[in-house]
Amino acid sequence: MIAKYILFGLLTILIVEARKPKGCISIKSVTKPIQHAEGPHWDSHKQLLYYVDTFKADALKWDPKTNEVTMFHIDDRNSIGIIVPIKGDPKGFVAGADRIVYQIKWDGKENNTAKYEEILMVDESKPNNQFNDGKADAKGRLWIGTLTRNPDQSVKDNGGELFVITDKKLLKDNQQVNYTSISNGLAWSKNNKHFYYIDSAKRNVVIYEFDLEKGVLGESRVLFDLAKYPDIPTSGIPDGMTIDSDDNIWVAIYGGGCILHVHGQTGELLLKLDLPVTYVTSLAFGGPNLDILYATTSRMRLTEAQIPSQPLAGTVLAITNLGVKGLPANEFEADEWKKQSC
Ligand SMILES: *[C@@H]1O[C@H](CO)[C@@H](O)[C@H](O)[C@H]1NC(C)=O
Ligand SMILES: *[C@@H]1O[C@H](CO)[C@@H](O)[C@H](O)[C@H]1NC(C)=O
């Protein structure tokens, strides 16, 4: 009888082992929760992760070697979209907070020791606009989008734009996409011939032809449409995204509790990975081999009663064993900004 049970146990173990995918995907949280973690940027030179707490107007830095988090708050602002290092300037960053682009100097060692300077304002005629997601392209231009925040925190349709910022003046008519509702995730293909873009309200990912030399977008088509996936709740919207070295995209589904791996040319859904939090905001590959997928998450929309069932909401999750690698993130490049001693 006992022998039978032992045999049964062994068989079960063997079957389970055989079914396991090669190298099990592991998901663990690496930071303490904050309200709304967003905009992850992996710094390959310093091996650090930068991200923001959007509605606290805080920028944060997490060091995986010490596990320490440091931060700085931008005074007088209601929100921050992103923080991106300036190329060749170890203490330099560009950030978008409310409608304002900032130049920042911060050594990252201690809290609230950053110096920052307002450089320019976008959407001058739209006081309720604020920056959302943004990234530098391979030539160091900053692509950053806006949205219109209603007083009740909802978002007004078609109130935003996607801007390209290259120097201290706001280039006239530099909106690359007009009438966006929630300008969000961005990514470029490895050869920089394509640009991927998410307006969350449209629940899709659009692929554009991209001219890297000129920094302009060409023809576009919808690559991936969430409406075709009824098992993803309609409350789930695409938020931030990143791309892997196979030119396939990874999309955070805010309100959908998952991330999606999508073929970069056909739009085929390659993988849906459920996460232990409902509100996943964005993604960035990091780690020494760029094979750890960091996911920022939020607890802002959870009620007090819901939080105990999602203790990891608001943390940064590290997802490993996905079998893919990312591409190094571009940095902002502007000689004019480096000279400035702010
Ligand atoms: C710095 O800020 C981080 C993030 O809020 C916090 O976890 C940490 O304890 C702070 N460090 C100090 C020395 O107060
Ligand atoms: C967006 O609008 C501006 C004018 O406000 C215009 O100059 C620009 O060409 C438009 N961009 C696109 C991509 O249509």
Give the residue extent of every domain in the chain.
27-339
CA distances from 270 to 238, 264, 277 (A): 16, 10, 21
Q: State whether the beta carbon of 125 lies less than 6 angstroms from ligand 2.
A: no
CA distances from 307 to 38, 237, 302 (A): 18, 21, 6
| Residues of the chain above pLDDT 70, percent | 91
239 is in an annotated binding site: yes
Ranges of the chain whose pLDDT falls below 50:
1, 5-20, 341-342
Q: State whether the beta carbon of 69 lies less than 6 angstroms from ligand 1.
A: yes
The rounded mean pLDDT for the chain is 92
Q: State whether the beta carbon of 178 lies less than 6 angstroms from ligand 2.
A: yes
Residue minimizing CA distance to atom 8 of ligand 2? 173
> Residue 311 in 3-state DSSP?
coil
Cβ-count burial 193-223 (b if 16+ within 10 Å, e if not): ebbbbbbbbbbbbbbbebeeeebebeeeeeb
321 is in an annotated binding site: no
Q: Which long-range contacts (CB under 8 A, 24 or more apart) does 217-223 make?
A: 217/176, 217/177, 222/267, 223/196, 223/262, 223/264, 223/265, 223/267
CA 23 to chain centroid:
25
Strand 58-63: give its sheet, edge to edge: 37-43, 48-53, 58-63, 68-73
Tell me the residue type at 159.
G
**pLDDT in the model for residue 198:** 98
Residue 151: CB atoms within 10 Å: 6
What are φ and ψ of residue 6, in 5° steps? Answer: -60, -45
Residue 157 CA to residue 93 CA, distance in Å, equals: 30
> Which CATH architecture best describes the domain 27-339?
6 Propeller (2.120)
The residues annotated with a catalytic role in the active site are 239
Tell me the residue type at 308.
P
124 is in an annotated binding site: no
